[in-house]
Structure 1
């Protein structure tokens, strides 16, 4: 597996992974159009690669034309236009997804570790995210990396990792 920094050209990959993250149950709860129209979800990618944005894409180096295995990205969102895992204006929110066929192979661990390390290098004080009830694989990954639950938003917990 290869993890590289996301570029401006990766917006389609990140959109596909945002859809994957929101359809993590395997059911099509969101279509691409519905997801991008959702005011909260759309904030995670609108104007991708703004100052402060950071992202990574995991791929299979033996299959360069294959779809991404997963991606992670972080961006600060303001209180006036928060995402689902908002904690504070200076705490970037993470979004992450691993393609269904690549789950359980360490892709999420590699992406999360890479992004957290890069956030530390940037001097971020913390990162946050939202994890839905029932997504125990993701929740265990986040807890293993030191995230703690700091709030609740509908049927999801807001989790924070102090850096």
Structure 2
């Protein structure tokens, strides 16, 4: 895959400074695909295609500002998330067009309330995201400001069993749990967040789950520690959203992204009676160094078959 994409964005004239700031972000701080997890830097820029001396349709002058550019190794989900967070003066006029080089059509996003929604083309998401998943769920990379949500998921993961009710303070004060989120993201860390949108949330994207990888050292190992070079997977889904296939969606997108970044193996820890064990087995995880009598299993999957 070339990771090249063509993009255009149309805005009101008063939002020109916001597009210029977005272009600067693409030049300096945008997430990069195809590099080590967490990499940021230059992926391209946006240039104006309209101007005071430009005429459309004979005597017509443009009634909006249009910017375009070719991006290389850009995280397109991260781009969409960034556009959604820009403080636009006229969000109702913002239109974002994105076409991967491997595709023959543009995808188009516009604001619906506070949410930037893909409005076209219909029925093509399987071409873009072959992992499936519920129609109201979309994903993006986990960001630094997702740390608090990841802490919520760690607490939920500890309390997965019916009747177990360890307090949030107790869970997060335990170093064996805290190191999965403290200082997020560290070097090489990578995560995917699932968001639900719909009329119930006023079309505001609501985080409902996440899967993330952390590299932990031998002197501070995780429950599923195998080697300092093998990141450990954590995953959590909010209680109301479980059983909808979101976990499968998160794991597949996270592991595919990790493989593209050069990660060779991923580990995890799961209690023997946790129903999630079957999910991990379906997605290629196998028990590593099984030990009789232990309540938890360490599992590993290999992402690069030629390694």
**CA 1:27–1:71 in 2, change beyond 3 Å: closer, same or farther?**
farther
Shift in Å at residue 65 of structure 1?
4.4
RCO higher in 1 or 2 (8 Å CA, sep ≥ 6)?
1
Kindly provide the CA deviation profile for residues 45-96 of structure 1, in whole angstroms up to 9, marking residues without a partner as x: 1111111111111111223547522111101111110000001110000000
Q: Give distance in 2, aligned partners of 1:148 and 1:129.
A: 10
Q: Do the aligned residues in 2 keep the contact of 1:3 with 1:110 (CA within 8 Å)?
A: no
1:96-107 alignment runs, 5 A limit: 96-107=235-246
Q: TM-score, normalised by structure 2?
A: 0.51
Q: Which one of 34, 55, 59 corresponds to residue 170 of structure 2?
A: 34
Deviation, 1:6, is: 0.7
The residue aligned with 1:162 is 302
- On the 8 A contact 2:213/2:234 being kept in 1, the answer is yes
Residue 146 of structure 1: which of 260, 274, 284 is its match? Answer: 284
Alignment-derived partner of residue 23 in structure 1: 159
Match of 1:81 in 2: 220
Structure 2 residue runs without a partner (length 5+):
1-136
User: Structure 1-normalised TM-score?
Assistant: 0.93
Deviations 1:12-51 (A, max 9, x none): 1101111111111243432111111112111111111111
Provide the C-alpha distance between the structure 1 equivalents of 2:147 and 2:270, rounded to a whole number of angstroms. Answer: 22
Aligned alpha-carbon RMSD (Å): 1.6
Measured in 2, the distance between the counterparts of 1:82 and 1:122 equals: 23
Match of 2:193 among 57, 62, 67: 57
Aligned residues: 162
Gaps of 5+ in 1: none
**Superposed structure 1 runs of 4+ greater than 6 Å apart:** none
